[in-house]
Structure 1
């Protein structure tokens, strides 16, 4: 199963199974597989057995978990708010099952406490050994990764994790919610305007409405209007490591293009860091289902594709840090660039890959701003979909992102309107999506239709739409609006630094060289601007941020891989790590001896 598959907010109560003498949560959704004897034997080669007594704590909520547990005998209870008046049982696992969810693989803190329920024995595997096995052994890796993704989705559906207390009208509340949603963090939003629990929490912690939004966890941790970085540190998301901040390659952005570049750069021996302003996966990471990606005949969710790529990059030694918003790029010397960030930090690198992607355009109509983040959304994930179980929703857009969102939301909402301003879907949507959209009984496609007003005070009530052929207006009842109307590149920080086209996308190759403000830089290097190279030598652009790119996951990943080929060629004319920066001489390569790079004639 995928992390975006429809999952209920609560699971059935644990019940006795025919194969065991204890109560155990049934594995209805594939999130709690039982490992085979062969899989356990392979895990045991990297771990050790340990006995457990009732009430032994294996994993504690709010603390980093460095260990993977497999239940060999007895049973383990997974509990939220353990030891507090709000304590409640989430699930129970017996022999053959393992304890952990997605955060386990990345060193995040736990969102639950795991306690021995019945005496028995567990297999204890260090986390670094688990990561190695997940990346090397597909029979274990597939089971563990899919189960972890499914468990994370269940935690989200149950409202586990931290609480965000804030007003729906607050930009900071919307910012924190977006960060939590995009990073797939279990949390629950408590609306200051309508939720009675909000007032009780403010009294308990002695804070006023002006100090919101708040992040509350385990009733012991309180953050007042934290930055995204502060929330990330609380949860244990990866930050920029201290110490040496010089890299062979710095990749800015972690969509499919950026992650592919990270995998190829790190696997070929280049010291590699990826920085991300919001969340790994980019726009692709929010896709409920990608069905036309080569090698995945049954499709794959954007979340699962992202997590697999992140694990793969980590396997080869690439570091990923977030949230880090790039604010500047400049040359440090002839061989290095420096990228600066909003928090004042910086990283120097011998080559830079720009993979910042593009952001969905906001719909500019009256009444929409006050409902953004509550009833108006620019992505369709399980978080938003769970709010749409009883009321009709509308999707604006005619491309693949809109089509994928429609099909995903139709699994939750009783009615989904697809509003398209053009006269057909063929112009920008793949045929396989068109067929599914047009056949779905809960979907109504409305062509030649544009939204002119969003109506509702605290939540969306209606949309005013117009037929752009006749000018006729009508009201459409909807409780949520999802907008997918194209995207703008995230390149404001690059204006005046690299050449951009008229829409702000990064020019590469001959077009970049022609637009270069200092054409002599190419003459000095004795070579032309390479295919994916921007107007600065050693700076490359891949994926949606690049002018003329094909807006597809596979093409972005391909460009990420190609960019590293060109990085190698660029580094062949500059210094290798640890050298003085002198040019290469005939018969000698100044690329790091760790690199085993294979030239491809078709890329020459």
Structure 2
């Protein structure tokens, strides 16, 4: 099989059969020279296949058009945001007369679902076009801030997890200062964001989501399944449920990926012998779920779930909306625990981090990074940071890195020339001014302390489940994880009495009928990406059973 170039994947020439498949579902439209096929910041914009003519793709800002690409006959116009419903980040202009087949988002999903030959070509192209944006003269959302500023980290993480093309400018460098002048934003609080023609100082995540077009109205809409959390368990459930005709909504406080989305490389996930990043895995799952019609909303949290006499569950969202669900899957995952130290909370996002991606690595470029933890996430973070930092120190409380880390990964960490593993060690204090400058290390064998300079402290210890929002009737274990199925419906009569129905619960069902749990948030779950995907898939089997009983 011939190896295809990135350009061939991103900009395929459709054959007669593929164009005929599009024509069956599409409307033939005509455009004059200079007419817009897709307008700036247009939401729910259509998909086009060019029959005749040429279409220019430009990025428009302050009335200036920056050329990005040119599409000719047999090419298609658009990208993955046609499935997300977000605002367009480009303008498509007819360069002379153009005839093109037009499909709305619903028609595009039908094409992807029912015509797998062309569907595979389009999905590959969507992914490759996003990857290639980094090498094209495309700016996307502009962010001007400071790398070690918590607000800047928060915004960049949101853009990263939601796969929003963006360009970051450091406010203390000449290009960043120039951007502030160009945007007339010198007096605005940092970080300054330029998005779809709007310039905003220190926007909240909901305000940024509104500008990008990520948020949507789901108030009083009824879904077969509402999934809270979009890590591996939530995404797997969304893919399987939507592909089997279950109307599905996914709610997340930040964006797709969960804790796994912050992993720099996952190498023990079946089917990817070379490994892939958590972000890439999340992106693929997200695209699959969109293909089958899953709806996503972020940054949204659930403040309460109220079971109704009808069997429905009403979820009260932080936006003031109420989503209605026949079944709910709790896949809200866990977060790494804060170290109970002075300065740790103060410097969150300003040198103290709980993820290691391209967003956080800016803080320790050419400097010293300290990773706390001995599990796979800590090992993956150390390997990733070693490519950016001058030195990476890995602190573990025990005396054997292999105790909790996969053998292959532990060997790589131990052999890396830029990584130093410090055994029997813990952080005693975090020090800094506007950001982290150093830490105090404590030797657990003798209590001696020493000071170590560092630009970033990356914490990967403990697991705090996100279950504080659940109804009181949902049984939790002593550590706050959700108890499901046979774990409470067994021999213990006191636990069994928590179940209110005559039928036995599904394997992943909680003590509240119709509310399921999967992934790291579930009591007894194994903390590995593959297991979370399996549980998310199993949850859909439970959903089918529950829907059949309704």
| TM-score, normalisation: structure 2 | 0.82
Structure 1 residue aligned with 2:121, among 101, 126, 140?
A: 140
**Which of 50, 53, 66 is the aligned partner of 2:46?**
66
Once residues 530 and 334 of structure 2 are traced to their aligned partners in structure 1, the CA distance between those partners, rounded to angstroms, is: 16
CA contact (8 A) 1:51 1:120 kept: yes
Contact 1:75 1:120 in 2 (8 A): no
Residue 214 of structure 2: aligned partner: 237
Q: Secondary structure at the match of 1:338?
A: strand
Q: CA deviation at 1:360?
A: 2.0
Provide the rounded CA distance (Å) in 2 between the counterparts of 1:145 and 1:34.
7
Aligned 8 A contact 1:68 1:127 in 2: no
Q: Are residue 197 (structure 1) and residue 177 (structure 2) matched?
A: yes
Call closer, same or farther: CA 1:216–1:444 in 2, change over 3 Å: same
* CA–CA separation in structure 2 for the residues paired with 1:294 and 1:355: 21
1:429 and 2:405 matched: yes
Task: Quote the Cα distance in structure 1 between the aligned partners of 2:256 and 2:321.
Answer: 20
1:383 aligns to what SS in structure 2?
helix
Which of 276, 287, 296 aligns to 1:300? It is 276
Residue pair 1:76, 1:114 contacting (<8 A) in 2 also: yes
* Cα distance per residue 1:363-384 (max 9 Å; x no partner): 3333334432133221122223
Q: CA deviation at 1:534?
A: 0.9
Q: Corresponding residue for 1:510?
A: 486
1:264 aligns with 2:245: no
User: Matches of residues 279-358 of structure 1 in structure 2 within 5 Å?
Assistant: 279-358=255-334
Name the CA shift for 1:323/1:100 in 2 (closer, same or farther; >3 Å). Answer: same
- Structure 1 pair 290–332 and aligned structure 2 pair: CA distance change class (3 A): same
Give distance in 2, aligned partners of 1:147 and 1:122: 26
Residue 505 of structure 1, CA deviation: 0.4
1:185 equivalent in structure 2: 164
Q: Secondary structure of the residue that 2:315 maps to in structure 1?
A: strand
Q: Which residue of 2 aligns with 1:360?
A: 336
**In structure 1, what is the equivalent of residue 194 of structure 2?**
216
Cα displacement (A) at 1:471: 3.2
Write the distance in 2 (CA, Å) between the matches of 1:435 and 1:98: 47
- Stretches of structure 1 lacking an aligned partner (at least 5 in a row): 1-26, 576-604
Aligned partners of 2:368 and 2:389 also within 8 Å: yes
Contact 1:285-1:302 at 8 Å conserved across structures: yes
Q: Secondary structure of the residue that 2:536 maps to in structure 1? A: helix
Conserved? CA contact 1:256–1:556, under 8 Å: yes
Q: CA deviation at 1:552?
A: 1.3
Question: What is the alpha-carbon distance in structure 2 between the residues aligned to residue 557 and residue 251 of structure 1?
Answer: 14
Pairwise CA distance, 1:509: 1.7
**TM-score relative to the length of structure 1:** 0.76
On the 8 A contact 1:67/1:127 being kept in 2, the answer is: yes
In 2, distance between residues paired with 1:251 and 1:302?
20
C-alpha contact (below 8 Å) 2:482/2:521 kept by paired residues: yes
Q: Distance in 2 between matches of 1:98 and 1:240?
A: 29
Q: What count of residue pairs does the alignment treat as equivalent?
A: 537
Further displaced range: 328-337 or 265-274: 265-274
Stretches of structure 2 that go unaligned for 5 or more consecutive residues are none
